[in-house]
Amino acid sequence: MNFNFLLDNAASSADAAQQQNPGQIWMLLGMYALLALAIYFFIFRPNKKKKKAEEEMKNSLEVGDDITTIGGIMGRVVSIKDDDSIVIETASDRSRLRIKRWAISTIDTEKNPESKKDEAKSEKTEESKKKKTFFGKKDEN
């Protein structure tokens, strides 16, 4: 079998395809650009927002806040040091731990508990005023 004939035929068909449609390269580059944009908007951008929110949460830490560390230790903040560490009390016997700020997972203290209670009460009263049937229509009774 003559393989040179096959290689020459494949090379000539590739040249012919490139001569017939030179915009195909731009379409391919456009598809790669769209893929890069999709990766940015679905992976990198949400991750960046999440890190920014975590940084704001850790910077808004105050003395007296209840926290949970990434290791699962729960405690109350006693003092905040300048070297990016905090001291927490972990139990009723007032044992203290010094941890780094990056080790904080969540702040468990609600900042405005009274306003949340008021909002919940007002939502319940509004819902009781609006009686709806199964399909979401207002009941005349």
Q: Which two tokens stand for residue 101?
A: 């700020």
Give mean pLDDT, residues 22-36.
89
Residues 87-138 pLDDT 10s: 999 988 889 999 999 999 999 888 765 655 566 666 666 655 555 555 665 5
The rounded mean pLDDT for the chain is: 79
- Pick from 68, 98, 70, 100: which is nearest to 84 by CA? 100
Q: What is the pLDDT of residue 42?
A: 92
- Cβ neighbours of 68 (radius 10 Å): 14
Q: What is the pLDDT of residue 83?
A: 84
Beta strands in the chain (DSSP E): 66-69, 74-80, 85-89, 96-100, 104-107
Q: What is the pLDDT of residue 19?
A: 59
> Is residue 11's pLDDT more than 80?
no
Q: How far apart, in whole angstroms, are the C-alpha atoms of residue 60 and residue 111?
A: 11
User: DSSP letters of 68-82?
Assistant: EETTS-EEEEEEE-T
8 to 2, 55, 130: CA distances (angstroms):
11, 61, 79
Q: What is the pLDDT of residue 110?
A: 81
- The model's confidence at residue 6, banded by pLDDT at 50, 70 and 90, is low
> Is residue 25's pLDDT more than 60?
yes
Per DSSP, what are the bridge partners of residue 100?
Answer: 85
Give Cβ neighbours of residue 106 (< 8 Å, ≥ 6 apart).
Answer: 57, 67, 68
Taking a C-beta distance cutoff of 8 angstroms, is the pair 85, 101 a contact?
yes
Residues 49-99 pLDDT 10s: 999 999 999 888 999 999 999 999 999 999 999 888 999 999 888 899 999
- Pick from 102, 99, 103: which is nearest to 89 by CA? 99
Q: What is the pLDDT of residue 26?
A: 87
